[in-house]
Amino acid sequence: MKITWHGHANVEIGCRTGFKVLVDPMFAPHITGAKAADARPDLVLVTHGHDDHVGDTVAIGAPVVANFEISNYLGRKGLKATGMNIGGRYVAAPGIVIAMTFAAHSSGIQDDQTGLFDGQGGNPCGYVIDDGEHRVYHAGDTGLFGDMKHVIRELYRPDIALLPIGGHYTMGEQEAAIATEWLGVDHVIPIHYNTAPLIVAAPLSFKRMVEERSKAQVHIPKADETLVF
């Protein structure tokens, strides 16, 4: 499995079969050099309705999976959108199974024209993407919650986790270090930090906190760097 971090929560997952999944594709010049126009995913996953996660989904134009409400919204924008909900699994392609997981956050969709939230974004979520070799958990935006320890760890058995560490809107470094222990993953990659003034975090202090609590290996990719697992 190849994992490429495009900054913030935007992560590309190259599955064992070559199937390419892009989660929360917000591309912006100030984040990394990557451009939405160069993204060629087979499938986009959206974790919730906020702008920094729906991002460039419409411009990219690939098939998308999201919660029921966001999939309806994106369907009206002309995308091939598949709605699902927390607890469900979706076979995206032969050998690629995607589970939608709980997230403790909000999910209002911001209207393109008015900038106001229409309140129709359903519930936020995370995803576990299983390519038959690795199972990567993208937590989306979330606070720490106990089912990381039980439902997500016991049912989906992720070995790689992508966790927000920026705080303020999501878990910070300490909560994400506890999440890493609870999930029982072998590898963790911090995301959703240092892209706005309120979400400043130190990935190296997150790394130290993880090392105090678990044997998980912390990977801190540079912008657009690909990690191979």
Among 12, 131, 141, 159, binds Mn ion (CB under 5 A): 141
Cβ proximity to Mn ion: between 8 and 134 the closer is 8
What is residue 151's three-state secondary structure?
helix
What is residue 59's three-state secondary structure?
helix
Question: How many angstroms separate the Cα of 82 from the Cα of each of 38, 52, 198?
Answer: 23, 20, 33
Cβ proximity to Ni ion: between 134 and 192 the closer is 192
Which of Ni ion, Mn ion, none is residue 24 near (CB under 5 to 8 Å by kind)? none
Task: Tell me the C-alpha distance between 25 and 120, whole Å.
Answer: 20
Which of Ni ion, Mn ion, none is residue 138 near (CB under 5 to 8 Å by kind)? none
Going by C-alpha positions, the residue among 50, 62, 63 that lies closest to residue 8 is 50
Q: Does 12 bind Mn ion (CB under 5 A)?
A: no
Q: Does 50 bind Ni ion (CB under 5 A)?
A: yes
Q: Are strands 43-45 and 64-67 parallel, antiparallel or unpaired?
A: parallel
Report 29-68 residues binding Mn ion (CB under 5 A): 52
Which of Mn ion, Ni ion, none is residue 56 near (CB under 5 to 8 Å by kind)? none
Q: 80 is written with which tokens?
A: 């091939």
Q: Does 141 bind Ni ion (CB under 5 A)?
A: yes
DSSP 195: S
Which residues 6+ apart lie within 8 Å of 203 measured at CB?
A: 165, 190, 193, 218, 220
Which residues 6+ apart lie within 8 Å of 207 measured at CB?
A: 218, 220
Cβ proximity to Ni ion: between 1 and 199 the closer is 199
Q: Does 138 bind Ni ion (CB under 5 A)?
A: no
DSSP 209-222: HHHHH--PEE--PP
Residue range at the interface with Mn ion (CB under 5 A); choices 58-66, 74-82, 133-141, 205-213: 133-141
Beta bridge partners of 125: 102
- For the bound state, the minimum distance from the C-beta of residue 130 to Ni ion, rounded and expressed in Å, comes to 25
Cβ proximity to Mn ion: between 96 and 191 the closer is 191
Report 76-135 residues binding Ni ion (CB under 5 A): none
Residue range at the interface with Ni ion (CB under 5 A); choices 27-35, 112-120, 139-147, 217-225: 139-147
Which residues 6+ apart lie within 8 Å of 224 measured at CB?
A: 4, 5, 6, 7, 32, 33, 34
Report 157-216 residues binding Mn ion (CB under 5 A): none
Amino acid identity of residue 156, one-letter, is Y
Residue range at the interface with Ni ion (CB under 5 A); choices 2-10, 45-53, 62-70, 180-188: 45-53
- For the bound state, the minimum distance from the C-beta of residue 54 to Mn ion, rounded and expressed in Å, comes to 10
In the complex, the residues that contact Mn ion under the rule CB under 5 A are: 52, 141
In the complex, the residues that contact Ni ion under the rule CB under 5 A are: 50, 141
